[in-house]
Amino acid sequence: MNIGSRIERIPDNKYNRKLLVISGFGNTFDSMDIAMVAFVLPSVIGLWSLSSEQAGLLGSSVLIGYFFGALLSGYLGDKIGRKKVIMYTLVIYSLATLASAFAGQWEHFFWLRIIAGFGTGGESAILAPYLSELIASKYRGKYIGALTGFHSFGYVAAAVLAYFIIPMSDNGWRIAIFVTALPIFLVIYWRRVLPESPRWLASVGRLEEAQQEMKKMESSIEKALGEKLPEPAETAANSIIQQKGSFFALWKRAFVKKTIMLWILWFSVIFSYYGFFTWLPTLLYNEGFEISKSFAFSIIIYLAQIPGYFSAALLNDIIGRKKVIVTYLGLASVSAFCLSQADASTAILITGFFTSLFMVGAMAGMYTYTPEQYPTIIRSTGTGSASAFGRIGGLLAPIYIGFMYPILGFIGVFLMTTGVLFIGMVSTLLLGNETKSRPLDEVADSADMTVEDPVDSSSERKIN
């Protein structure tokens, strides 16, 4: 009996929710670490008398590492397994973050933040493909959207920690950074409770291990349900030919349209997201709105992410991922335009709230949609490369907006942001296909599965 049919017959259960929470903590601490850099930046600028150029480099350090982490972890996830990459990247991020709390020079802090970003980028890129391979298609959209929603808790936690800890002393920023390194202890727990993806094990020909992991999962789920699982649907056993996945497979005929669509989508969303959240307080302050520099403004913008992520997560399995992405990007564009026209503090808070909500809601759809575009052998590579390309947008946005603001002005910058969001929406609308409720095996089977020549034709085996 193939792995896919065994996963598909599993109902929603406590074990799945446990996996969601355990994996979600990874996203929470990743985002808390990224957000914390922005909050400690004023302290380190004063400590080391940094120029605006040096401060800009520090502000971009995590994203630089994020790019390489997402790119490499996607590749490694398809080569050595999802679970190993999740644990290794968590260790890298935690140790580098811990070391950065004791940095004595800004150059040391800069390089340590790049290394920490490598870890956070790698972990963030691998978690969605990993969880998507363990959840039945009927619930997958809800779970992956909710997994993405754990990012919001990290941003809120960073804002709260920064507000209470950083002003405590001259070393308050070091304490805040130290706190974000604490998830190092998660590794011990993750190593014991997280299963390796049976789909991945089967895809690389490790069939006995795939069966063992599947049996352990089924046993845990039956224990959570208090009853035996139903029999899997009768399907032919999958014929497995051990194949080599690679980055170049993403550009073969079966996947090139999907890859182009995803790269445009990720670039548009991440460009707009980092451009918006990096520059919004400064641009509004320059326009005379002092509320933009307040803690209340920051916390409201971050709190908006919670309903944004989780509303989209619920809609993923109701209206479909493609419609969620297109709808939320369209509403984010409208909200950003309204924000550019706001002329009072209340209007800024309301339009800023909804711009944040709809922008991250699109992310919940995007993180769910991306792993569903590729077969198991290149799923992690495809997701990681799209995420990495999106980080280029994240790096360019603050620089480009800083350059264009004197030319285009406040309204012009926001119109540009709405235009970029619109491009992402149109690319998904025209090039994307709906994947709602489709088993991962079916999505993969709809494409040409020949990602590369088989390693050895004699390696063809059946999953029984």
- For residue 146, give the CATH number of its domain: 1.20.1250.20
Q: Which residue has the higher pLDDT, 100 or 294?
A: 100
As a whole number of angstroms, the distance between CA 269 and CA 392 comes to: 11
Q: Which two structure tokens, joined as six digits, stand for 99?
A: 């070391």
Domain of residue 404 covers 3-231+244-445
As a whole number of angstroms, the distance between CA 462 and CA 454 comes to: 15
Question: DSSP character for 243?
Answer: B
As a whole number of angstroms, the distance between CA 289 and CA 18 comes to: 44
Q: What is the mean pLDDT of residues 69-77?
A: 93
Residue 384 maps to a domain: yes
Q: Which two structure tokens, joined as six digits, stand for 360?
A: 């991250």
**459 pLDDT band (50/70/90 cuts)?**
very low
Residue type, 119: G
CA 326 to chain centre: 18
Neighbouring residues of 335: CB distance < 8 A, sequence distance ≥ 6: 351, 354, 355, 357, 358
As a whole number of angstroms, the distance between CA 69 and CA 49 comes to: 30
pLDDT in tens, 247-280: 888 999 889 999 999 999 999 999 998 887 777 6
Residue 460 maps to a domain: no
Rg (CA), the chain: 22
As a whole number of angstroms, the distance between CA 173 and CA 47 comes to: 11
Residue 458 maps to a domain: no
As a whole number of angstroms, the distance between CA 363 and CA 352 comes to: 17
Residue 459 maps to a domain: no
CA atoms within 13 A on the CB side of 20: 20
Residue 454 maps to a domain: no
Bridge partners of residue 240, in order along the sequence: 461
CA 275 to chain centre: 17
As a whole number of angstroms, the distance between CA 162 and CA 179 comes to: 11
Residue 259 maps to a domain: yes
The dihedrals phi and psi of 336, each to the nearest 5 degrees, come to -65, -40
Residue 261 maps to a domain: yes
As a whole number of angstroms, the distance between CA 276 and CA 70 comes to: 22
As a whole number of angstroms, the distance between CA 13 and CA 5 comes to: 17
Q: What is the mean pLDDT of residues 219-248?
A: 73
**281 pLDDT band (50/70/90 cuts)?**
low
The dihedrals phi and psi of 76, each to the nearest 5 degrees, come to -65, -35
Residue 453 maps to a domain: no
Q: How many domains does the chain have?
A: 1
Residue pair 371/78 in contact (Cβ under 8 Å)? The answer is no
Least confident of 198-207, 412-421, 446-455: 446-455
What pLDDT shows up at residue 392? 93
Q: Which two structure tokens, joined as six digits, stand for 179?
A: 């706190």
Q: Cα separations (Å) of 249 from 73, 161, 441?
A: 16, 43, 18
CB count, 10 Å around CB of 86?
24
**457 pLDDT band (50/70/90 cuts)?**
very low
As a whole number of angstroms, the distance between CA 250 and CA 455 comes to: 18
Kindly tell me if the per-residue pLDDT of 288 is higher than 70.
Answer: yes
Q: Which two structure tokens, joined as six digits, stand for 460?
A: 């063809």
What pLDDT shows up at residue 234? 67
Kindly tell me if the per-residue pLDDT of 56 is higher than 50.
Answer: yes
